[in-house]
Amino acid sequence: MHNFAHQLKLLQGSSEFFPALIQALNDAKEEVRLETYIFDFHEDSLLVAEALERAALRGVSVKLIMDGVGTPSIPLEWEDRWRKANIAYKIFDPVGPRALWYPTRWRRLHRKLCVVDQKIGFCGGINILDDHFDPHRQTKMPHARLDFALEVTGPCAHAMWVEMRQMWVRMSWIDGLRKSELLTNLKSLQEHAKIKRKTYPNYVNCHLVLRDNVLNRQSIASAYLNAINAAKDEVIIASAFFLPQSRLIKALILAAKRGVKVTLVLQGHYEFALPYRAARRLYGVLLQAGISIVEYKLSYLHAKVAFVDSHWCTVGSSNLDPLSLLLAREANLVVKDFEINQELKSRLKIAIASGGSNVDPAHFKNRGSVERFGDQVSYWLMKLAIFVSGKHY
């Protein structure tokens, strides 16, 4: 059986991701499938909406899934335009933003995937949201979010397509799809699953790792754990939300103790106070082990990436927190490609130099009692919320 290498391109922020995505949409001949947590309709996000419309108008099959919390609805103008263009779209679990107050509704569709003509795929942490636009304040920001995606050509793109089609069929079944059509789709999916089982293990430099609540509950966490445990020289992790399982914390500490240089790039300019303060409750034990913690303060940190020893990296949608590791549907690409790994490392180093602030162990240890109390309360509130959701962490 043949091994397959992939063509890979690292994309930073919407300024690089959107043009690459739009070019692929403009070149689409048969089909576009897109999944995103947020589909926004401000600034450059509109360019993606227009590219989808153009593709559909020239006869390309366009299927789009958005999450019901990230995108509870779309503007009436675009609802009408997409309907006229014959774009098919679905809202995953359409419960609205208030669902975030109910931990039992935290099982979100958080992955960001796109596949065009089953040949070219995109996977990462970037929503269809202009990285200079702040949806919380409805204003433009001077500095872009820090985020990444990968463009991939090769078998992984087809793997992504299979998973996305499965999601569409499941949601169609829930929506009441005709039985005959459902059975036809399921038969086709079974055939593609056979192909997937035969070819996935032979991917050379890239493979798709999913997290869901059925067959892939611990897959992304295990990928991180295996890479950290095998690390010999350096680990850099950038995670927008950071509250990992104890086994991952232990792995990071053990890596630092055996001489691995471990750097965590975490939020400094934060969107939500509770997860930010909960993460800071872990700083003490990590700093004591010799782990460097950098808070990124130039803008919002939205990245979910990691670099290990020049031979392993991951780019995707999964944070290292309970929502991603226990509840949400996530998708990451794990890459073993020297050039991509070095480019990711270089861009993270630039981000640290331009917008990072090192957490000083002595200063953090002597922080005030009010800060300590806030960190403790936030941490236990997060733990309680996960327990209420039915998960143990």
CATH number of the CATH domain containing 379: 3.30.870.10
- Indicate if 133 and 173 belong to the same structural domain: yes
Active site residue 304: yes
| Predicted confidence band of residue 324 (pLDDT cuts 50, 70, 90) | confident
Q: Which of 204, 235, 253 marks a domain boundary?
A: 204
Q: Say whether pLDDT at 88 is over 90.
A: yes
Question: What is the Cα–Cα distance from 209 to 304, expressed in whole angstroms?
Answer: 14
**The pLDDT value given to residue 179:** 47
Cα-Cα-Cα-Cα torsion 314, 341, 234, 13, nearest 10 degrees, comes to -60
pTM (global) more than 0.95: no
- Indicate if 12 and 161 belong to the same structural domain: yes
pLDDT digits (tens, 9 = 90+) for 96-120: 556 566 666 678 899 999 999 999 9
Residue 393 in any domain: the answer is no
Q: Say whether pLDDT at 350 is over 90.
A: yes
Residue 2 in any domain: the answer is no
Residue 320 in any domain: the answer is yes
Query: 35 or 182: whose pLDDT is higher?
Result: 35
- Indicate if 376 and 246 belong to the same structural domain: yes
Q: What value does the mean pLDDT of the chain take?
A: 89
- Indicate if 142 and 229 belong to the same structural domain: no
The neighbour count for residue 76, using CB atoms within 10 Å, is: 8
List, as one string, the DSSP characters of 53-102. Answer: HHHHHTT-EEEEEEETTT-S---HHHHHHHHHHT-EEEEES---GGGGG-
**The pLDDT value given to residue 100:** 61
- Indicate if 246 and 282 belong to the same structural domain: yes
Mean pLDDT of 209-235: 91
Determine which one of 147, 302, 337, 391 is catalytic: 302
Segments in 58-178 forming alpha helices (H): 76-85, 155-174
Question: What is the Cα–Cα distance from 281 to 300, expressed in whole angstroms?
Answer: 20
Place of tokens 């789709």: 185
Q: Which of 177, 204, 231 marks a domain boundary?
A: 204
- Indicate if 27 and 152 belong to the same structural domain: yes
Determine which one of 304, 337, 375, 391 is catalytic: 304
Determine which one of 63, 90, 112, 269 is catalytic: 112
**The pLDDT value given to residue 189:** 53
Determine which one of 9, 117, 143, 383 is catalytic: 117
- Indicate if 191 and 225 belong to the same structural domain: no
Mean pLDDT of 331-339: 94
Active site residue 110: yes
- Indicate if 233 and 128 belong to the same structural domain: no
Determine which one of 6, 110, 158, 207 is catalytic: 110
Looking at the chain, the whole-number percentage of residues with pLDDT higher than 90 is 69
Active site residue 302: yes
Q: Which residues form the domain of 133? A: 7-204
**The pLDDT value given to residue 197:** 40
Q: Which of 174, 204, 234 marks a domain boundary?
A: 204
Count of domains for the chain = 2
**DSSP 8-state symbol, 333:** E
Active site residue 117: yes
The length of the chain in residues reads 393
